[in-house]
Structure formats: structure tokens, C-alpha cells
Amino acid sequence: METVLSGMRPTGNLHLGNYYGAARSFVKMQDEYNCYFFIADWHSLTTHPKPEDIQRSARTILAEYLACGIDPEKATIYIQSDVPETIELYLYLNMNCYLGELERVTTFKEKARQQPDNVNAGLLTYPTLMAADILQHRAAKVPVGKDQEQNMEMARRCARRFNNIYGVEFFPEPQNYYFGETAIKVPGLDGTGKMGKSNGNCIYLFEDEKSIRKKVMRAVTDNGPQAMNSPKPEVIQNLFTLMQIVSAKDTYDYFDSKWNDCTLRYGDMKKQLAEDIVQTLAPIRERIIEISSDQEGLDRIARLGAEKARESARKTLNEVRRIIGFKVY
């Protein structure tokens, strides 16, 4: 069975975009692959988070992942910093990565622009740590968004270079994995193309009913359809895209035909959309509350996940040490 790995930095609560774009796909994958899902808390250190926030944010996102349906019996779920083996592989891989290529990574350049007073070496070697995350389980597939393409290219280069330098066929070159339906992009409610934490336009999985309804009712719209069967401007298309994602097909078709014959009232459509989002998220929210109330259970899951991940990482690392010429413990 092929191995799949993916990770997410614990930078806030999960939102509808994370759910439809990532978490829901993971849930589907866990039945078909040997899956590792992890919380990339070391990666979040590049922005120097407060020590008191580290444990809490990892636990929060762990509970939210589980509430989406990721099953610790099927997939290995762990927290990156619980698997120190990663760091040793990160060191070896860093020896084969070059300053020029790391400096050319777009995400590095962007971050360097965003935080000019903190262009640290961890930021520069972010892609090597990501490669270590992936290669330590010799993962073949990595479900990530388009923004991670360059990091994935570095991971493939790390694998290829290691194999070439030592004349082995040890690491598979990990491939980006997109679902058939994955090109799904959940739009924001503010007329922008993408729901995202940094855009401040999210509906969070944990959000309560009142707050969801308020946000949807405030979504940006225009003056309404002006001519029969006219194309939808982006802000309106966003509402329809959201409806396509969360509502029943009949509901979507009903409002679509109202748009086409110019009888659509945005208030009605928003009310329905809010209702469908509330219905979709209610069971997830309930599970988040239930799962978060059992911190011991969460600790147990994280511990078990770390054990499984460490076992897999140690196996790889022993081989790597042997290939490089070090003692194997």
C-alpha cells in the first residue's frame, strides 16, 4: 500500500476552506492508503510563537482534525515535535541543499519581505524540514495545495540527490497529489477569491450558529441580476460556489434559475446558504467540543501517533545512517 503524508501548521482554527480543500480529502484517503497526517509545529517556529501557545494550538488543531473524521485507527496522526528523528534527517538533507536554490523559493522570498527583521535560517531551510517530514516515511504522495509546489520540488530534489550521491534507490520522489474533485477552492464571503486565515474572511468549523448567520448575511453582493441569463459577477459567483459546495443540488438549481429569470433576492439566498452551512458544521462543532473536553484522550492519540511515526522514521533513519556511513543503533 502506498504511503501518503500531509501536514498543516497550527496557525489557527480550521475553516470551511481547510475542511473542503484538505481535511475531507484526508478522510477519504485514510481508507485507501497508509496515511500520515501531522501538525507542523516546528515549521510554525519561524515566526517565534509564544511558548504558552505552542501546546494549545497543536491540541486545538488535533481536535479539529479528528472532528472532521480523521480516524487514528486508520491513519497515523502525530505532532511533528514529538518525532525528534525528523531533525536528524533534516540535518543530513541540509548538507545537500544549496543556498542559491533555497533563496530562490518564492515562499522564502515572500516571508523575507513580510518579516525583514527576522529572515532566519529556519525560514531559509523550511523546504528541507518539509522534505525530511516527507522522506522519513518514504511517502510517495503528498496532498497539498498549489502554493506548496516549489517546496515539493525541493523535496523531490532532496530525494534524487541523496539517491545519486550514494548510488542507491532509497527514497521515492514524492509526488503532489490532487484529488479528482480537489481543484475545489472555497471562496471568501468578502468578494475575494479564497477563504483564508490571512484574508480574515473565514467561517470557522467551530463557529456558532448565530455568528455563521451574521457573517453570511453580511456577505458582499451587488444590485441584483439586471438581465435574463446574464453571467454572474465574481462576488455573486462566490455565493453560488459556496452553495454548490454545502447545499443540495435542488437548492442550488432553484436559486440559479431565480438568478437567470431575474427574480433572485439575495436575502433569501443568503438565509438558505447560512442554514446549509449551519447544518453542515453543527455535527463537526459538536464533535470538536466533545473531543476537546477529553484532553487525556487527545494526549493518548498524540502519543500513539508519535510512537507509530517514530517507528517508521527510525527505520528510515537507520538505513540512511548506514548508507551515509554512520553507526546504526
The contact set with ligand TRP (CB under 6 A) reads 5-9, 40, 43, 130, 133-134, 142, 144, 148, 151
A 10 A CB-CB count for 220 gives: 15
* Coil, helix or strand at residue 50: coil
Within 13 Å, how many C-alpha atoms sit on residue 205's CB side? 27
SS3 35: strand
Give which of ligand TRP, ligand ADP, none residue 130 binds (C-beta under 5 to 8 Å, depending on kind).
Answer: ligand TRP
Close Cβ partners of 13 (under 8 Å, ≥ 6 residues apart): 60, 61, 64, 204, 205, 206
Strand 175-176 and strand 3-8: the pairing is unpaired
Residue 13 partner contact from ligand ADP, ligand TRP, none using kind-dependent CB cut-offs of 5 to 8 Å: none
In angstroms, the CA 256 to CA 271 distance is: 15
| Region from 52-60, 181-189, 301-309, 316-324 binding ligand ADP, contact rule CB under 6 A | 181-189
Residue 271 a catalytic site member? no
Minimum CB distance to ligand TRP smaller for 43 or for 156:
43
Between 4 and 269, name the residue whose CB sits nearer to ligand TRP.
4
Assess contact for 92 and 320: CB atoms under 8 A. yes
- Our measurement of the distance from residue 119's CA atom to the centroid of its chain's CA atoms, rounded to an integer in Å, reads 24
Q: Which of 247, 242, 217 is nearest to 232 (CA)?
A: 242
- Residue closer to ligand ADP, measured from CB, 29 or 317: 29
Question: Where do runs of H (alpha helix) occur along 167-265?
Answer: 209-217, 234-246, 249-260
Point out the catalytic residue in the list 109, 146, 185, 194: 194
CB count in 10 Å sphere of residue 258: 15
22 near ligand ADP, judged by CB under 6 A: yes
Least Å distance, CB 231 to ligand ADP, is 22
To the query of whether residue 50 is one of the catalytic residues in this protein, the response is no
The question of whether 197 is a catalytic residue gets the answer yes
Angstrom distance (rounded) from CA 257 to CA 129 = 50
Q: Which does 17 bind (CB under 5 to 8 A by kind): ligand TRP, ligand ADP, none?
A: ligand ADP
Q: Is 144 in the site for ligand ADP (CB under 6 A)?
A: yes
| Residue 238 binds which of ligand TRP, ligand ADP, none (CB < 5-8 A, kind-dependent) | none
Q: Are 203 and 195 in contact (CB under 8 A)?
A: yes
Q: Which CB, 196 or 297, lies closer to ligand ADP?
A: 196
In angstroms, give the least distance from the CB of 145 to ligand ADP. 3
- Does residue 178 belong to the site contacting ligand ADP (CB under 6 A)? no
Which cell numbers hold the place of 21?
Answer: 480543500
Which among ligand ADP, ligand TRP, none contacts residue 133 (Cβ within 5 to 8 A by kind)? ligand TRP
Instruction: Enumerate binding residues for ligand ADP (CB under 6 A).
Output: 8, 17-18, 20-22, 144-145, 184-186, 194-198
Instruction: Report, as residue numbers or ranges, the catalytic residues.
Output: 111, 194, 197
